[in-house]
Every structure is written in C-alpha cells, then in structure tokens.
Structure 1
Amino acid sequence: MTRPAEARVVTSPANPEIKRIRGLALRKKREEEKLFVAEGLRHVMEALEAGWPLETLVYQAEAAKRPKLAEALAATRAAGGLCLEVTEAVLAKMTKRDNPQMVVGVLPQRWQTLESLRPGKLWIALETVRDPGNLGTILRTADAVAADGVILIGETCDPYSPEAVRASMGSIVRVPLVRATPERFLAWRAGWPGLVVGTHLSGEADYREVAYDPPVLLLMGNEQAGLTEAAAAACDRLVRIPMAGGADSLNLSVATAVMLFEIARERLRLSP
C-alpha cells in the first residue's frame, strides 16, 4: 500500500501529538487549545465541506485507499495541518474506544457572539443544559430544520465534548453556536425583534395553537428544573406539549424536536 506523501507515521500511544489529542477529551484542554475532535471520515469531510480547516488529521493505514481520505489529506496539508498515519491500537488509545473509526480530525472551535447574531428565521436558546447527548441531539435537530443557530445560556455542558459531537452526527459544523451569561442573554433578548416562546408546565397555550411568525426564538430550560423564573418571564408566550399517558414530561431533546418541527412546519411542508 502506498503511503500518502508528507504523512508522519506514529506507532506509539506515547507520541506527544497523540497525547495532546487524547488530552482534548478534557474540557479544560479543549478550552485552552480551542480545539475539538471529530471521529469518522464522513464527519471529517462534512467539516471540510462546511469550510472548517483541519488542525490535525489522524488515520489508520487501511483507510488510505479511500478516495475521500486523499481529499482530506490534501486539504489538511493545504491549510498547514498535520497528517498522522497510526495503528488501530493507537487510535483506540487516543479515542478511548475499542472499535475506533479509522479517521479522526482535530478542528478549531467556532463561537459567535450575541452582538453578531442575525435574527434570521429561528434560533434556539438552551438554559443550563447538562447532558451532552441531549445537546448533540438538539444540534442535529436544529440542523434538520435549518435553524439559524443555538445559544447556550449559563453553565451548560460543552457542545464540543466527544459525547455531544458524536450525538450531533456531524451537525456540530453546520449549526452556529453562541454562549452567554443569563444576565447578558436577558439584556440582549430585550432587543429581539420577533416572538420569544418557551415550554413550561404552567403554559396556557397548546404548542400547536400559536402562530410562529419568524423570527422566532425558542427558549428551552434545564433537563430537571425547566426554565428559570427569569427566563420564563422573558418569553412572550409559554406553551405546553399535551401528555395523554402516564408521563408528565418529555426528554429535553425530544421536547425541543417537537417544538422545532412545529415552528418550522409550514417551511418544511412537502410539495404534493
């Protein structure tokens, strides 16, 4: 098998570059280096297609025969990135997975500011979301309805954690992210030009009975506590998702998906 030009061969998990990438499993290291890890050739290619440069591309030798990998290697080198050919054992150690993907990319994090945000049609604001699986799934759903982006309010989990990135199924590179303190968010919300809607147990309206004229800002609360009093007070409308069975609530990512598809229903209507 021909080895791609300019690829460095690494066979030891103790290699400094491999240890550096392994360190990105920790939030502190991700925030210090402003990087994150995406696993799988498909997700690496999606990042490149979305205009994200690869800081490092790690691949198993057996993946070298894939045409898309050649594209990824060329793009990484063109951007001044590092290409590492490694063994399966090194990949397993690096990703902490028994059956690792054969391709792993290290990418820069991207954050927007509240001040640069454009209302568009639909934004989602999440208050102190704690579960990275929920957050990644919400990013995937936001991508599915072509939402303009997601605002993370307060002490939330990290959207660039391995768990959130995997749950997003590649959508992490297509959904703009903003983070803000509760105080900054509430001050900024005062200038929002459209509807602000939140789900709440005391909501007086069925979520299907509201006119969601864009731009809409959907505000969703913490998995356990829901919206805080301040966030609920910032909403123009509080709505409920009716329950017919014994359950009195939905998982946060499921509830968010229900709301997003209702808000975007007319825009997503299939042509006959």
Structure 2
Amino acid sequence: MYLITVLGNLLIILAVNSDSHLHTPMYFFLSNLSLADICFISTTVPKMIVDILTHSRAISYVGCLTQMSFLIIFGCMDDLLLTVMAYDRYVAICHPLHYPVIMNPHLCVFFVFVSLLLSLLDSQLHNLIILQFAYFKNADIYNFCCEPAQILNLDCSDSFIKSIVTYFVSAMFGFFPISVILFSYYRIVSSILKIPSPGGRYKAFSTCGSHLSVVCLFYGTSVGVYLGSAVSHSPRKSVASSVMYTIVTPMLNPFIYSLRNRDIKNSLRMLHSGKIYVRT
C-alpha cells in the first residue's frame, strides 16, 4: 500500500509537470496535494514497518512528538489544499470569464504558501499543549502512530488553556475549511442547475466529481477519529479510522483522480509512449 501510494502520487506529479496542457491552477493544486500525501503517509508507515520487522512498538518521547508534528503538518496541508481546490472549482464554474484573472499564478502560489504556514502553526499549537503536560513515561498508545487526538487524551488534568487552544484549532482547521467547501459546492450546484442542457450540467459537475470524492473520504475518516476519541474509548475503532485517513485515503487519491480525469489519463498515456518529456 505504501509503494502504491508513493508511485501513484509521483506519477500524478510527473504527469502534471511534463504536460504543458496541465499547467493550470487545478492541476497545480493537485500536484501539491500529491506531494503532501506522499509526505503524510511517510510519517507513519515506515516506522510501522520497522516495528513489524523488529517486533518492537516502542518510540521515544521526542520521536513521538516529531512524528505527531509531521503528521499534523501534512494532514493540515491536505485539509487546506482540498479547501483551496474547492474554491478553485467555484471560481471556474461560477465565474468562468474571470477565472484566468482571479486564479493567477501568484495567487495560487500564495494559497499554497499560506496553507504551509497555517499547517506549521497548527503543529506548533499542538506541541505547545503537549509540552505543558508531565513527561509520559511508559505510556500506552493504542494505535500504530502517535495520533494527536490520543496524545491529548493521555493528560488527565483539566486545563482551561488546553481546552481553549483545542477548540480554536478545531474551529480553524475543521469547521472553517468544511464551511468553505460546503459554501463553494452550494454555489457550484446552484450554477450547474441553471445550465439548460443535461450534457452541459454533466460536464460541469464531472470536473468536481474527483475532488468531492476525496473530500468525503478524507473528512469522513479524519473527523471520525476526533469525534470517536471524544465519544467512544474503543481502541479498535480509533485504529481503523486512523488507518483510513492516514494510509487508505492517500493511496486512493491517485486512483480517484486518474480514473475519473481524462486529462490525467491522456497525459499518462503520452508519458508512457514517450511523446512528452519532462521539462528541465
């Protein structure tokens, strides 16, 4: 699964960079999403493979915080890039004549840069909360990685600051992105329904199908982890949800975008036949 994820996302990055027809904002964000997915799954699976081979599940305190930090950074990158991609589809469908002006290259780079900065901020906020706790010696984590939700639950103290920061992070990186995505698709569906021909409606909505599938898969599993850790204390359910959004979702993204996207499929065919070459 790890090799499929890395190779699949690398193929998308290679296809986008090698085909000049794919040098558009949508595929620019897609290539960055693929890069984030590679880094996201690389924070957990290699350590898990080592644990299986060495029959040891121990991880140091610093190693756990490091893994959690990178997991948050690249998980938030996925979160925010999916939000930006929803806005990109909104502009493309609702304001097609102004699309080249609004989604100019400078704005696209700015969106990716801000996504990275906010992801780093989220990681540092989690570290700030964790470092206020006592040193967890010989603590058990019922998961295959240092999942942020479970690390926070290791502390038994009732800290007001901890609660405030936790709710702030949840609102900023959970409620706000989901609200932007829902609003974008509300406007998109309203615009699509105004198209008179069924063929035009299908063509317009087909450009959003892949993105909408990835959004449902990512948010459905990642939100399930945090809600599940707050409502239920079942380790089995928590591990299953963690596997879905940290391993299965990054693996399925290349298949969803390549199988449902004609431009990506054509670019991969041309790349395989040697008709296009990577620019240097």
Q: What TM-score comes out, normalization by structure 1 length? A: 0.22
Structure 1 or 2: more helix by fraction: 2
Structure 1 or 2: more strand by fraction: 1
Q: What TM-score comes out, normalization by structure 2 length? A: 0.22
